[in-house]
Structure 1
Amino acid sequence: MVVPQKGYSMRRQLLQMVLLHTAWEMGSGQLHYSVLEESKHGTFVGRIAQDLGLEVSELVPRMFRVVSKGRGDYFEVNVQNGILFVNSQIDREELCGKSPLCAIHLEVIVDKPSRVFHVEVEITDINDNAPFFTAREENFLIPESRLVGSFFPLEGALDSDVGMNAQLNYQLSSSEYFMLDVQKSVDNSLGFLIKKSLDREDIPVHRLLLTAFDGGQPALTGTILLLITVLDVNDNPPIFSQSVYKIQILENAPSGTLVAKINATDLDEGINKEISYSIRSVTPPKLNTIFNIDPNTGQIILNGELDYEDTNSYEIRAEATDKGAYPMSGHCKVLIDILDVNDNVPEMSVSFLLVPVPEDSSLGIEVALISISDRDSGANGQVNCSLWPPRVPFKLVLTFKNYYSLTLIEPLDREQVTEYRMVVRAQDEGTPPLSSSSSLVVPISDVNDNAPTFAQPSYTVFVKENNPPGAHIFTVSASDPDVAENALVSYWLDEKLWPLSSYISVHSESGKLYALQPLDYEELKLLEFQVRAKDAGLPSLCGNVTVQVFVVDENDNAPAVSGPDQDIATLVKVPVAAGLVVGKIHALDADSGYNAWLRYELHDAASGPWRVGLYSGEVSTTRALEEAEGGNSQSLLVLVKDHGKLVLSTTATFSVSLVASAQAAQSDARLSGLGRNTKPLADNANLYLIIAICSVSSLFLLVILVYVVLRCQSQAKEAMMYGPGTATLVCASEVGSWSYSNRHSHILAGVSGEPGAKSDLMVFSPNVPASAENGKQQDLLCVMVSDALLKFLL
């Protein structure tokens, strides 16, 4: 649609509409609108949705959007009604300068399916810039001898507008000596004429105001003061051989190149004939230093670098001044046309529409838009585009002039190729041709099709009891071959089978397992639970692993002597033989294994005829006792110690009363009040027989026991530690009575078969890798044989 504009006839509007309709019918896919510059925000431009054949209701679902290439965000589309309107004010002069045609190219993009339309909005000039002169005033030195009709050129005004708004007319303030003159020749020279002979003595200085009017409605003006000083004598100005010099030069000409040589002559004689050349002005003004002139020869030299794409023509106003007492000047123009050379490589701009590309994308989808431009003109600005390597699932499709789309032509698989690296090469048709390239990286996005997995189906963890609260005991880790959020794994405990919140916690991000409270082996020996890993995909996928936490015993319980107190009394009838067992101390340890294995010692081993069994706790005589020793009472202090690394111990008092045979009846009556653990003496003959049989049997079994213990000790070492790790076999004490491995846990306390003793054998069978099965079977055999022999001996 064309917006009616002030200053434009109905005929031009109709012509624009016809051209727009013709372009659409030709299938170019381009719309053309026009709008006045400086239009306010919200100014109507056109019904773009209707003109493109799109329904207003489908603009939002299809993600209708407008992209302006490198020209700012000047336009916007109301997706509720499909109207293109001005988003921000546009200054045509700032946008396009003096270019007669100023247009902004818009790319309209819709999805589902993806399409790209091209819209061109012409920015129409309004008369918003007044004419201006490059200086506030201009000085002239005119001899009084100058003839009536003499012409003096003036520097015209400039107007940033274009068209009629830049067509300038001039008016000179009223003067009886001077009049304005515009010479309608090739150069359209502006100046003033002398219409009456000058008389310096009458008026030495004339002040005239030159006003410039543009062709806009209403017209805008600019002024300059002309200061004319009347001189005497030297009455012949220099005259150039040409009033206009036309020059062509290549844009790649080096600095110092001779551009032109101008020549002027003076009819005067002597010093009034000597001429000096100078440059009055260069248009455009911002480049007034790019040319130098030799004041003596009139040679104009290039003093910089030319760029056809920046400025393709220059206008130099040169002046020749004689050296008379009252100098006179002549003027000419030098018009310089710059010739283009192929000195600009093609420029490339890539706009990604769909990055990363989902691996399940449909064929034909547009991934990126590529626009190619070349600042050169003619064949130097014609560009061809290609894609390398050729064997990729994408191709370039020419959509409009130098616009290409990168289109998917083959199915994608992220598991085979995670990204594609391509090079787009653009080459112009100049001589020699210039080219440029741009690397494209198109990543392929993943779908969540892989669940988190653990390195093994289960883990076995050993933790010493009495750990500090919050201690790190193990770390589980799951991997997910997906990427981004599909591979972001979080962990949690599955408490469906066991309430773990008071014992174990897991860090949701790192997978670190923490013991929330100190563990007590005597209360809890095994925690078995599942840790689940879930990714952050939609929908999320899960994996799980079984964790078995075995609590390892520490020596934190001292031995305790059985009974309510630690005083034990017994009555012994003398005489007795050496080696007679007179009593036994019973003690228990709440710990297990090596920490619960007890030994007994006399506090003063050198005193008295007594000894205590190192591991049995039996108190016996070291020598024969005679009847003469009857009537004596002795107290023995027995130390009970465990075998922990930090040995814990307790004491028991064992009282022995010696009585002669004659006093047996009375002693027996008193014995019941001495202690609850006293025993009558056994028959000596039976005792000796039992001792003989046990000694022979023990000797045989001891040989077997020593062999098994030495075999186990050669394979085992203590490797229990606090925290994550695998416990290896710890087999054999000093007599091979206790064993522990990461497959079996044996707890021994007291003597088998005695009241109050703990279980002789406790076996835990955690899950361990199959590769360790053979070694663990041998460890188990060692442990079982050792414990069985120990119990038999005890």
Structure 2
Amino acid sequence: MSKLRLAKWRLWITSLLFCMASADVRYSVPEETKTKYFIGSLSKDLNLDSDRLRFRKARLDYRGDKRYCEVDLDSGNIVVSERIDREMLCGTTSPCLMHFEFILENPLELHNVVLEVKDINDNPPVFPKDSIKLEISEAAPTRSKLQIACARDLDVGMNSVQTYMLSQNKYFVLDTKSNKDRYVDIVLKNSLDRETKGEHSLILSAVDGGNPPKSGTVVIEVFVIDVNDNAPVFSQPLYNTRLFENAALGTSVIKIVATDVDEGANGQITYYINHLSDNTKELFKIDENYGEISVIGQMDHEKSSSYEMEVQAEDGGGQTGHCKVVIEIDDINDNTPVISVKSLKNQIPENIPPGSEIAVINVKDQDSGENSRVSCSISSSLPFQLQPYIKSYFIITTTRSLDREQIENYNVTITATDGGTPPLFSNLTLNIQVSDINDNSPTFELQTYAVYISENNKPGTSVCSVSANDPDWRQNGTVLYSLVPTEPRYFSEGQRAALSVYNLSTLSGSLVSKVIAVDADSGQNAWLSYQIVKSTDPGIFSIGLYSGEIRTQRDISESDNMKQSLVISVKDNGQPSLSTTCAVNLLISDNLSEVPELKDMTYKDNNSKLTSYLIIALVSLSTFFLTFIILIVAVKFCHRRKPRLLFDGAVAVPSAYLPPNYAEVDEAGTLRSSYNYDTYLTTGSRTSDFKFVSSYNENTLPAGGTLIRSDIDSNMLRLSDEGECTEVNICFNP
């Protein structure tokens, strides 16, 4: 399965788990509470760790200009953040519900929070007018009704208007069976006599059910006349109409018509809109004479999608008729999508795997229907892709590998387009920096440098200058130069040393040589231990674990191999442990003048088959006997002719007989990471001593000079940065 497909599976599973984890939480709060009023505990109800709410950027997202509540990130409680007026929010709608989105990140979670705003009795009943004038015919029969527009209480439920009371009089009473939701009927109890009393003053009170109750009153002036026995009647009790939210000022909404069969002033109708709220009275008006409703303000579908009003038709005698008008506000595409960044990694490493999440964005459009359907896109040429996540959330992920050395930052432009006609769109540009990793090796300007130097130059003389470049950034591109140790080619005459061992055999435990290694680290990382990993005859020599001293494990006899090769491993005590090796070549001889050169002495593993071993053993046994006889004769012959120059029996060796391979020792007195040691042992001494001998040849170079092994010598220069290295050959022509 590819990494990209695996990342998509992980994303799908995460989305599924997120959807399963989301849940609705419902709370209630009384209106007009003080700020910081405790509503409920989100951390407890959603089983969340309150200590991680800040880290997870917990927040409430509410669609609107005001934020009525917030989450206390220390306790996980949801509290009131500003004044809540239920009447401003919901009007007469009950229950009054506010919907929030509780959002958490790392990982992303989304919970719906429903807050019900409870009504309190903070509004008294109010009549449409402070005083009402009514006319009634003196010929009106008993049980005749006078309709009074009911009082309106912005509160709901028991806090709204519950009862009406009429002041005491002998002519009029309230009809207790009438529909008090729209109007109140005052019933004529006794016949009127205009000559006895032509004017009646009544006080109508509306009382709500709060504790304590609130009330409102209206003064009703009743004038007794001879005629007017018909009230205006609308052509229909309910009018419905639709209007676009961008309707121009003065646009006609609807014209309503009421008729009155009375004549004269009793048939002349005047229109009113009852109980206009603060929002409605700024948007609509009605022509009092013709009943035409028109637009006087700017509407916004996003604030309110419909308006409902009650229209009253009143004739000249005070009789009234009522109807309801409902205006639906149609949405137009007047809001561009809003892009908000919820999470962003603005710096990513160049080795980030494909399918990794870079950013989480949220796109919302305040319009409705198709006008609110939003699609998002980014350029297909970028190594990123935009994927829908949950609801209005999108995530940006990588699609392929990045290379900082080619492009070190990207400007990712997100385009959000809604479904309106014509569509509206918005852009948001994210700048994503690509951080460097050490994925490039340094490169020399030349692969081979040819350098010509004079012989007999002094130590420290500048040989040549090399240059390399690394395209990585800062410390990853900082180039460090070092020489790779190779086979030594330059030897100081004063640094040659020969080890001679004399009488008949070397005793067990005798010191043969000592290996010294250094480690630039400190502490336990610089604790070194030595070990022989390969040897010609494993049973002859041993090395001190921490001292590096090479000693014999048994007495050396003439039957032992004349040439001995040891491979010494030294490792530190770091984690992980680092190690290096060096080769030590040993020669067993009683006469240094007859020793062969050691340049070809290297340890080779014998991985041949059993047949090869048998052939080699047979040949070795055959030649060993002949070599032993010749060696004894040669040793005796040389003992007779060799001069005695040193009082302790040491042999003076002309420089022409010394082998040419010696390890270089620099002025710092430390050894490099890999060397060859050439050591000479004799079978005629009971002790192991170093003998530094000088040459009899007057042409020998001084101690500060060098002997040159070949006409053209070469070294290798190692170049490294943090984690990468490369090498270049340097050829020296003296």
Higher Cα radius of gyration: 1
Using structure 2 for the length normalisation, give the TM-score.
Answer: 0.48
Using structure 1 for the length normalisation, give the TM-score.
Answer: 0.45
